[in-house]
A = this chain, B = another copy of it.
Amino acid sequence: MNQKVLEELVKKNKQYCCKGKNADYIPALAKINPNQLGITLYNIKTNETLSVGDSSVRFAIESISKVPALLLAIEDNGLSNVLKHINTEATGFAFNSPLNMEINHAKHPLNPFVNIGAIETTSLIKGNSSDECYRRLLTFIKEICHDNTISLNEEIYQSESKTGDINRSLAYYLKGNNMLSKDVEGVLEVYFKQCSLNVTTQNIAMMASVLANKGMKPWDNKRLISEESATLVKSVMTTAGLYDESGEFSAHVGIPGKSGVGGGLMGVAPNQFGLGIFSPPLDSSGNSLAGIKLLKDVVDELHLNIFD
């Protein structure tokens, strides 16, 4: 795919920005210019990067941070130990709902990409203090995104923390059922911070490219995470990466993906591309509306669908 084709696809899908709606639970997200669409493709075979549109705009990583948090938790504890704390099943309900756990009296969160599972995941990151946990995760994210300038959006963080009562409810549910070994507020501090990091589509594409490249950073050919870990995470992104829209995303787009309410969308084409997309307006499930449409077009154009 050349620059021109990608530009046409971005142009074609820009119209969908006005069909969605920015996240509005915090002012810092509501006020973002909705009319933005950007994309970065990282080709792991050629190490070439292709960027179009609003690809250097910094936006809140939000739930896409659940991926590097899981990867670091696996590096810290080993995959099998992490899977003793979190399952890999879709819940069938919204991102912030613990209904399935409650109904089935589940002993662990169903997957690491709904909020309750992500809070559990974050609690597994090692560190002697919540600050150390956060710093270790930030360092890991800088490395996997190949960008040392990634930093906290303090306004987002303050808002996330202030309005995060449903997440507090979920964390105390875990704590009250003996599924959380650390103290709730400390874990949530790391969780709210990890969601509040500013990233670009280039950052997201780099992270995706490491997953696409079996855990090796394609730009320096050095291993960052195990192949086993990369494979598992791509699988869970496929079955549970877009909340209760995961099955539809898998059926219509067909590559592992992970979305964030900040408008970010990560796509992984195994052994081929890492993709990062940004467009703030969301669909009813909380996923970037124009972003998904653009990703589908790119996947189709490049024949990346893993089920094809």
* Chain A interface (Cβ < 8 Å from any Cβ of B): 87-93, 97-100, 102-104, 110-111, 164-173, 175-177, 184, 214, 227, 231-232, 234-236, 238-240, 244-248, 250-251, 254, 256, 270, 305-308
**A239-B239, A246-B239, A251-B235 known; A99+B103 contact, CB < 8 A:** yes
B residues near A305, Cβ cutoff 8 Å? 231
- Please report the C-alpha to C-alpha distance between residue A268 and residue B63 in the assembled complex, in whole angstroms: 31
- Please report the C-alpha to C-alpha distance between residue A244 and residue B247 in the assembled complex, in whole angstroms: 14
**A99-B102, A176-B165, A176-B169 known; A234+B307 contact, CB < 8 A:** yes
Set B91, B165, B270: member contacting A306, Cβ < 8 A: B270
CB of A66 to closest CB in B, whole Å: 15
B residues near A307, Cβ cutoff 8 Å? 231-232, 234-235, 238, 256, 270, 306
- Please report the C-alpha to C-alpha distance between residue A162 and residue B244 in the assembled complex, in whole angstroms: 35
Q: Which 9 A-B pairs give the minimum distances between C-beta atoms?
A: A92-B92, A165-B176, A90-B90, A166-B176, A169-B172, A89-B247, A234-B307, A168-B172, A169-B173
* Contact A97–B102 (Cβ < 8 Å): yes
- Please report the C-alpha to C-alpha distance between residue A171 and residue B99 in the assembled complex, in whole angstroms: 17
- Given A89-B90, A169-B176, A236-B251, 15 more A-B residue pairs with CB atoms under 8 Å apart are A88-B250, A89-B92, A89-B248, A92-B110, A99-B99, A166-B176, A169-B171, A169-B172, A227-B308, A231-B254, A231-B308, A239-B247, A256-B307, A270-B306, A270-B307
**A89-B246, A176-B168, A308-B227 known; A235+B214 contact, CB < 8 A:** no
CB of A198 to closest CB in B, whole Å: 25
B residues near A175, Cβ cutoff 8 Å? 165, 168-169
- Please report the C-alpha to C-alpha distance between residue A172 and residue B174 in the assembled complex, in whole angstroms: 13
B residues near A184, Cβ cutoff 8 Å? 165, 168
- Please report the C-alpha to C-alpha distance between residue A306 and residue B212 in the assembled complex, in whole angstroms: 11
B residues near A236, Cβ cutoff 8 Å? 247, 250-251
Question: Would you mind naming 19 contact pairs between A and B with Cβ atoms under 8 Å apart?
Answer: A88-B250, A88-B251, A89-B90, A89-B244, A90-B92, A92-B92, A92-B110, A93-B100, A98-B102, A99-B99, A110-B247, A166-B177, A168-B176, A169-B172, A235-B251, A236-B250, A239-B247, A239-B251, A306-B307
B residues near A166, Cβ cutoff 8 Å? 172-173, 176-177
**A235-B254, A254-B235 known; A90+B246 contact, CB < 8 A:** yes
CB of A216 to closest CB in B, whole Å: 13
Interface centre among A97, A167, A231, A305, by most B CB within 10 Å? A231
Interface centre among A93, A177, A214, by most B CB within 10 Å? A93
